[in-house]
Amino acid sequence: MNYHEDDPTEIIQVDAQQTLTCSLENESQRISCAEYLKQYDISQLIQMLAHSTEEFVRHVWLRGWQVVNHRSLPAWLRDNDFILHYHRPQLNTFWACFKSIFRVHTETGNIWTHLLGCGSFLVITIFTLIQSGALLQWQEKLVFSAFFFGAIVCLGFSCLFHTLSCHSKSIGRLFNRLDYAGIAFLNIGSFIPYLYYSFYCILWAKLFYIVLIVVLGTASIIVAMHPSFTTPPYRPLRAGVFMGLGLSGIIPCIHTVILDGFINSIIQGSLGWLVLMAVLYLSGATIYAVRIPERLFPGRFDIWVSCVAH
């Protein structure tokens, strides 16, 4: 008996044969993949991945703009006369500025230290507020949130400034002012937990000193947002404003020593940690103002020490 060539039975048989063939091919591919994994261990795969990454970075490095020396910069980008080489030229788009974070230049250290710091504080903030649960009252959560907020704002604004400073004069000046405002937020947030716990049982003193540091910090932010404040001639004034804000914490420190004694203030009141924080802040402001060590060795610290000189 002859079947028509369009007989459904033949079609079903052909489809079944094709399906079986495809299954065998897929099985063969799976076997080939397994054999491949046997032939190439994890270390070889990592080496291949590293090589591909290196090629990608090299491709990005070789295309686009090149770093320039200090003399080639426009006047508004010349902030530190002792950083001589490896500057970014003016990049006229936000995309180009953000891509520059993967290049090596005078702002690379600044960008990545602040970016990683900001991300770390975000993680710590979420972990602390979630894990603390019933251990902390809402007032204490608010106090810790003030510190974390100040740290995140400071590091975030600073990262954005160092990333976008070469975009244009107006954008660079705007984010420079926000950078200094972020420092004031950090100073405010750093003092609030200390004041809250040092005067835990003295409500009037706690409120008075917290309001005082907030007012002084707000005044510093207003000064920092003035357009002339970010220009190079005002560098000593910038350092002085934030040093003054930091030194304002001496008054409540003396108050706690009078109330509790010096030893108890160090051991129980965490005065020692506050003094250490103040020393670090003042040291950073001093290094920024006098521009050490690049002042002593111009051109020798163009990349990695520039993040300290910030």
70 is an annotated ligand-binding site residue: no
Residue 133 and residue 234 share a domain: yes
Q: 121-142, pLDDT tens digit by residue?
A: 999 999 888 876 677 788 888 9
Q: Domains in the chain: how many in total?
A: 2
Asked, for residue 61, whether it belongs to a domain, the answer is no
Residue 78 and residue 22 share a domain: no
Residue 87 and residue 216 share a domain: yes
Model confidence at 3, in pLDDT bands (50, 70, 90)? Answer: very low
Asked, for residue 162, whether it belongs to a domain, the answer is yes
Q: Which domain holds residue 21?
A: 9-39
User: Which residues neighbour 247 within 8 Å (Cβ) at sequence distance 6 or greater?
Assistant: 278, 282
Residue 253 and residue 118 share a domain: yes
Asked, for residue 187, whether it belongs to a domain, the answer is yes
Q: What is the pLDDT of residue 193?
A: 92
Asked, for residue 56, whether it belongs to a domain, the answer is no
User: Which residues neighbour 298 within 8 Å (Cβ) at sequence distance 6 or greater?
Assistant: 81, 82, 84
The residue to which tokens 């003399």 are assigned: 71
Region 45-56: what's the mean pLDDT? 73
The residue to which tokens 């602390």 are assigned: 128
Q: How far is CA 72 from CA 109, 124, 297, 299, in A?
A: 21, 42, 20, 15
**Comparing C-alpha atoms, which of 4, 165, 150, 2 is closest to residue 76?**
165
Residue 104 and residue 21 share a domain: no
Q: Which two tokens stand for residue 20?
A: 């079986």
Residue 93 and residue 22 share a domain: no
Residue 255 and residue 207 share a domain: yes
Asked, for residue 242, whether it belongs to a domain, the answer is yes
Asked, for residue 77, whether it belongs to a domain, the answer is yes
Give CA–CA dist 92/72, Å, rounded.
Answer: 16
Model confidence at 35, in pLDDT bands (50, 70, 90)? Answer: low
Residue 106 and residue 26 share a domain: no
Provide, rounded to the nearest whole percent, the portion of the chain with pLDDT above 90: 40
**Comparing C-alpha atoms, which of 182, 180, 124, 191 is closest to residue 150?**
182
Q: 137-158, pLDDT tens digit by residue?
A: 888 889 999 999 999 999 999 9
pLDDT-wise least confident of 78-87, 199-208, 242-251: 242-251
Q: What is the pLDDT of residue 39?
A: 56
Residue 52 predicted with pLDDT over 70: yes
Residue 35 and residue 154 share a domain: no
pTM exceeds cut of 0.85? no
Asked, for residue 46, whether it belongs to a domain, the answer is no
Asked, for residue 44, whether it belongs to a domain, the answer is no
Residue 248 and residue 299 share a domain: yes
Q: What is the pLDDT of residue 38?
A: 54
